[in-house]
Every structure is written in structure tokens, then in C-alpha cells.
Amino acid sequence: MPEPLLAATGLVKTFGQVQALDGAAFTVHPGEVVALVGDNGAGKSTLVKTLVGAITPDAGEILLDGHPVGFAGPREAQAAGIETVYQDLALAADLDAAANLFLGREQLRGGLLGALGVLDKRAMRRRAVQAFAELGVELKELDAPVATLSGGQRQSVAIARSVAWASRVVFMDEPTAALGVVQRERVLDLIRRVRDRGVSVVLISHNMPEVLSVADRVEVLRLGRRVARFTAAQTSLEELVAAMTGALTHEEGDTP
Amino acid sequence: MTVLRALLRRTRGQNTLWTFLVLLALVAVFSALRPNAFATVFELRSIATESAILVLLAVGQTFVIVTAGIDLSVGSVLIFSGVVSAKVMGALGTGPQSGWGVIAAGAAAGAGAGLGWGALNGLLVAKAKVPPLIVTLGTLGMALGIAQILTHGVDEGDVPTRLTDSLGSGSLLGIPWLVVIAVLVAAGAAATLALTRFGRYTLAVGSNTEAAQRVGIRVDRHLVKVYALSGLLAGLAGVLNLAHFSSTTLTSGTQDNLNAIAAVVLGGTSLFGGSGSVIGTVIGVFIPAVLQSGFTILQVQSFWQTVAVGAVLVLAVWSDQLRRRRRQR
């Protein structure tokens, strides 16, 4: 078994009376799609926020390449090559796709103009075209505000943005939740392409058939703990649901 | 053909173009009706001069509205800055004969006073999370009140003649100084909004604050800068106002904030934030000015100008609404 890319153990997080994480564990291997599933309130969102630096856990350890890390904020996680695609997209709807791709990471012109904060729009556009092409994202108009794009295209822009900057892991929170059948299929293809480029994907989803079709492994969270791990090819819908509802606990392969 | 269609599709969504066409149509109508009175260099010059100070206020307002905020305080900050400027010049100088050093100090004090009010607005909006409408309504009252307290409600009039003769009513190569300054400020602001990172962040904050925050933009700090910019331009406008009218004009300017907001909205900047243009705002300043001048020349009661601008304003926001609804799918 290769060394995990990201390994969290014993994560604890309490909000007031609510114990969101109760010794949770999670593992991401290099170049895989791993699905994180669990019923509502299982702690998925809190776990993800903890792993991407948006929340500081009360206890527990996160190892990146075997070294303990403590991200003080999403920026630090991003610097380590960890990106997040949020459920609500988090795009600036009035800006175009290239502007969104570079939001917060704008490239400036050289020399005096750069010192004045003038953007290098041409270079950013060129890189955006390249980034979208690499992922097979087709946008009719690169200069249109993303608000005018379809839901699937917007999701593709959001994913492309994360992938463009992520060198290690992309977390995707329900990336297909608001999409139609065709668009959903496209996003799943996109996820596979991201993995094929060597970037691991953590997929949070409620859609079990989707999870089984795209994920290499599945980790199940229940009441703030990891209760089961499966290889996607060797499990079934019934097994996943049983694990989510607590009827089954199951650990495959290595034990934490 | 396809290029033309693409161009059409893009311009259909752009309110700025429509506003510009409206302005052209107004100018054409008035010119046709009274070619000898309206379409003259003198009339153009006087419209531009009378609009110059409002251009400064409206340009600052554009940045604020692009962030989905509002700055009601600009008119009062203008008066306040004029008072501070006049007080400083009065204290340091020798009345109307004061030299350039005194004038520079007074102008700096006026601009600084504006910057101060703007920064206060920004801090209250960004850090204290008080809605911009309330913050700037509060500073509107405070700035005007303190200006009146400082002057005991009596206009200061001892403005150095060097200032009034140059910036106030003088010209550079036949172009009034007020117009020169307004053009420079508008050009700089247009480039800043459209081409720089500051402009990009302004648009992003107005479009989706949450998204801007998540990608690491310091939203609160940026908002402070934007409101400070609006205040600074209002302060500068106060100095120019003082130079132009040789008075602190305590009782005028109550409509300035609304006129500035109207100009911004007429110019195609969305009240909901996220999109806008400085060029549009400048056009938006000129529509009421041209109407005013045209009505005066046609001997129509100029009060109709307020009615017409009010109606056009509502139409402009309505069309922005329709545009937003159309693109949601």
C-alpha cells in the first residue's frame, strides 16, 4: 500500500452541544477518486471543512505526505495544493469565466503597469482557454458573465478553477446536486479526467449510483466517525446504505 | 455577419450603450429645435463646467454602487470639506490675497477631510457591518451638522482669488480647469475599474462577497478603500466647489447625493452590484444636465427636468432587472 496523500485520524470537533466529529478518520491516496458518504448530519461537511483548513479541529491529527499539518485557513491549504469546489459554486456571476478562474490570483502586467495593478488580461485568457481545453470544458463564450452559462457549465468552470490550482487534492461538495442528467454525466467525466491527471478527488455525494460509478473507493461517515471503507468495484448499493444507517461496519484493506 | 450578431448580443445587455444613445438623441432633438442657442460651444462649455463637480461625486459613487453599496453622504462631505478647506486657508493665509502655499494646504485639508469621512463610512460598513444606507445616512447628517457648527451656519466667503481665478473659473487652453480635472479623474477611474486588480476586486466583491472571501480577497479592507475613494473624491469636489462659487454653499448640495446616484444608475451600473462602468456614469451625469439646459433654452419650466430624470431613473433600474431576470436560466 503506498503512503496516503492525506490521512486524518481522531478528529474531534464540537459546536456547543453538538458533537460534529467524534474521532473521525479519513484517507486519500494519490491519484484516486474517493467518495465520502454519510447520512445528513453524519459530519461530512465539518470533516471536509476541517481538512481544507476552514475549521480548526479540537483534537486529532492530519498528515500530508506523512507529515503533520495544521492549516490556519483555506489559503494555507491551497498553498499545499488542496482546493475545494463548494456546493453553492462560489463564482462571481457577473465576471466572465477567465476572471473567475483567476479570481484572487490575478496575473499583472510587467513593469510600471504591473506596479499600478494593471491586469494582464490576455495572458490570463490564454491560460484559461488552455485550462478549460485540458479538461474538455467547452464554453461558447469565454467573455460572457458566468451568470449566462448553464448550471453544468458553471459547475465546470468552478471545477476547472479548483483543478487549475490544485496540485494534490480537490474536494467537491455535491458537485452534481443541481444538475440535469446530461450535465451530471459531463461533470462525472470531468472528475475522471481530473483523476487521470494525477490529482486526487474527494467526492461528497448523496447519490449512491453516482458514487459507485465514479469513485475508486468509498469511505462512510456516521455520527462523526468513519464506520466503513469499501473498494467501489467490490461493493453494492445495499452495502453502502447499510453502512450509512449503522446496520454494518466494515473496514477493507489497511486498518487505521 | 456572425461578428455583427455577436456584437449585437453583447451590446444588448449593456445599458451603457443605450444611455449613450439617449444622450445623443437628446442632444440631437435640442440642437434641431434651437440650433443657434443649444448647439454652441458656449452652451457645451457651460454644461460641462456645471457638471464637472457632480462627475467627481458620481465617479466615486460608481465604485461604491459596484460593490452593491451606496454612499448618501457625498453631498454633505462635499460641504464639510469645503468648510474645512476654507477654514484652513483662512487661518493660515491673508484672506483673498493668500498665496499658493496656503491654497495647497487648504486643498489638502479639504481632500483629507473627505478621505476621513469616506474611511469612516468604509470601516462602519465593512467592520461594524452596519448597512451602507444607514451608515452613510448617518454620516450625511453628521458631516453637514459639523460643517454648520464650524461656521455657525454662515457661509465662509474669504476664498483666495488665486484659487477662484484659476481652478474656480479659469481655463487651460480654452478648456475650463474644472472640466480638465473632471476628465482626468474620470479617465483614471475608468481605467482603474476596467483594467486593474483593484477594479476586478471591486466587481468581484459586488458580484459575490462570499466567493471573493473564499478565494482570499480581503473583502473588508477592500470595502474600506472603496468608501475612502468615494470620500476622497467628494473632498476634492468640495475644494473645487469652494473655488467655483467662492463660498462654502452650506445650503446647497442637498440633492447632490441623489443626483450622483441617479447618474451612476442611468449610466448602466447595477444597483445590485457586480457590474458597472465609469464612462456610463459620465454619460449619466450629462443626461440631466442636457435636459436642464435644453428645457431652459426651450423656455419649458426647468422643473420638468426633475420629473423626466426621475422617470428615466426608474426605467433604467427596471431594464437592469429585466436583464438580470433574462440571464437567469
Which of B207, B214, B217 lies closest to A95 in CB terms? B207
CB–CB of B275 and A93 under 8 A?
no
Q: pLDDT-based confidence at B222, cuts 50/70/90?
A: very high
Q: Which residue out of B66, B200, B325 would a mutagenesis test of the A interface target, given it has the greatest number of A Cβ atoms within 10 Å?
A: B200
Cell of residue A174, nine digits: 455535491
Which of A104, A117, A118 lies closest to B215 in CB terms? A104
Q: pLDDT-based confidence at A256, cuts 50/70/90?
A: very low
Closest Cα in chain B, distance from residue A199 (Å): 20
Topology of the domain comprising A1-81+169-256: Rossmann fold (3.40.50)
- Domain boundary assignment for chain A: 1-81+169-256, 93-165
pTM for the model: 0.85
Predicted pLDDT at A254:
44
**A125 vs A86, which has greater pLDDT?**
A125
Closest chain B residue to the Cα of A150, Cα to Cα? B329
Whole-number Å distance between alpha carbons of A160 and B61: 35
Closest chain A residue to the Cα of B197, Cα to Cα? A117
Q: What is the mean pLDDT of residues B293-314?
A: 83
CB–CB of B200 and A75 under 8 A?
no
Where is average pLDDT lowest: A47-51, B38-42, B202-206? B38-42
What value does the mean pLDDT of chain B take?
87
Predicted pLDDT at B226:
97
Domains and CATH numbers, chain B: 2-323 (1.10.3470)
**A194 vs B197, which has greater pLDDT?**
B197
Sheet holding A6-15, edge to edge: A18-28, A6-15, A59-64, A67-68
Q: pLDDT-based confidence at B59, cuts 50/70/90?
A: very high
Chain A partners within 8 Å of B202 (Cβ): none
Taking only residues 193 to 212 of chain B, the set having a beta carbon closer than 8 angstroms to any beta carbon of chain A reads 195-198, 200, 203-204, 206-208, 210-212
3-class DSSP state for residue A252? coil
**To which residue does cell 495572458 refer?**
A123
Q: What is the mean pLDDT of residues A124-151?
A: 85
Closest chain B residue to the Cα of A87, Cα to Cα? B211
Q: What is the mean pLDDT of residues A47-74?
A: 87
For B121-134, the pLDDT digits (tens) are 999 999 999 999 99
For A100, B15, B242, B269, the CA distances from B208, given in Å and listed in that order, are: 11, 21, 39, 16
Does this complex have an ipTM over 0.90? no
Predicted pLDDT at B112:
96
Whole-number Å distance between alpha carbons of A52 and B222: 25
Predicted pLDDT at A34:
93
**B95 vs B111, which has greater pLDDT?**
B111
For B126-172, the pLDDT digits (tens) are 999 999 999 999 999 999 999 999 888 888 777 888 888 888 888 88
Closest chain B residue to the Cα of A161, Cα to Cα? B215
The phi, psi pair for A60, rounded to 5°, reads: 115, 175
Q: pLDDT-based confidence at A182, cuts 50/70/90?
A: confident
Q: pLDDT-based confidence at B298, cuts 50/70/90?
A: confident
CB–CB of A118 and B195 under 8 A?
yes
Predicted pLDDT at A200:
93
What value does the mean pLDDT of chain A take?
86
Is 50 exceeded by the pLDDT of residue A161?
yes
Whole-number Å distance between alpha carbons of A184 and A190: 10
DSSP state letters, A12-33: EEEETTEEEEEEEEEEE-TT-E
Is 90 exceeded by the pLDDT of residue B56?
yes
Is 50 exceeded by the pLDDT of residue A255?
no
Q: What is the mean pLDDT of residues B182-191?
A: 95
